[in-house]
Amino acid sequence: MDGFLGEIKWFAGTFAPAYWQFCWGQLLNISEYSSLFAVIGNKYGGDGINNFALPDLRCRVPIGAGEGPGMTLRNIADKGGNEMEQLSLDQMGAHIHQISNNATTTSNLTANGSAAILCQSGTGNSDIPKDNYFAGTARGTNSYSTAATGTDVMNANVATINANIGGDVNVNVLSQCSVVGGTSPHDNMQPWLCLNLIICVEGIYPERP
């Protein structure tokens, strides 16, 4: 099967025809395949002195070299891509996770209490209630005393305090979403059918234009 040196073809057989070899990245001696070396050099491997490598296309899809419109520049013998790919946060689309909680607020509270009121157990000496204390005995109109006895207090039932307290209560609830998803990479392969790729190692030397 004639071909140009360095020409690569798809082949559905299980063996490489005469003058062709599988594209498996194997090393060839320059002295034995000098014409092929003159065509492809050691771009695909080898020391370039004693040997050189054939392209390794096992489990790989060839693409055209160059820079297509809107595409990335790819030089001959470049390779890349992954069978499996694990997405990073930067690669995921923007999205929102909803958080549910049972936080409640109560805006109306009732407070009950009592107050201890100091008093004067003696006789009153003032008829002015401001800044004074209840006296134990009134003298005329003087029902108040300018000084308290000290530790004497009136009955707690004298002053009962009831109050309604209202308002908005802001509650900050520390919440987090439950863990979802996993860390497994996803299959990055297009639909495929496996065939052999062969390269012509003995054939017609391609003339330059």
pLDDT band of 184, cuts 50, 70, 90 = confident
User: CATH fold of 1-60+189-209, please?
Assistant: 3.90.1340
Distance CA 3, CA 6 (A): 8
Buried b (16+ CB within 10 A) or exposed e, 149-177: eeeeeeeeeeeeeeeeeeeeeeeeeeeee
Q: Residue 195: is its pLDDT beyond 70?
A: yes
For the chain, what are the domain ranges?
1-60+189-209, 111-164
DSSP one-letter code for 126: B
| Average pLDDT across the chain, whole number | 85
Using CB atoms within 10 Å of the CB of residue 183, give its burial: 0 to 12 exposed, 13 to 18 middle, 19+ buried. Answer: exposed
| Residues 87, 55 contacting (CB under 8 angstroms) | no
pLDDT band of 150, cuts 50, 70, 90 = low
| pTM for this model (two decimals) | 0.60
Cα–Cα distances (Å) from 119 to 139, 142, 149, 181, 205, in that order, read 15, 14, 6, 73, 124
The pair of three-digit structure tokens given for residue 173, joined into one six-digit string: 């609830």
Tell me the pLDDT tens digit for each residue of 53-108: 999 999 999 999 999 999 999 999 999 998 888 888 888 888 887 776 666 666 67
Distance CA 143, CA 82 (A): 98
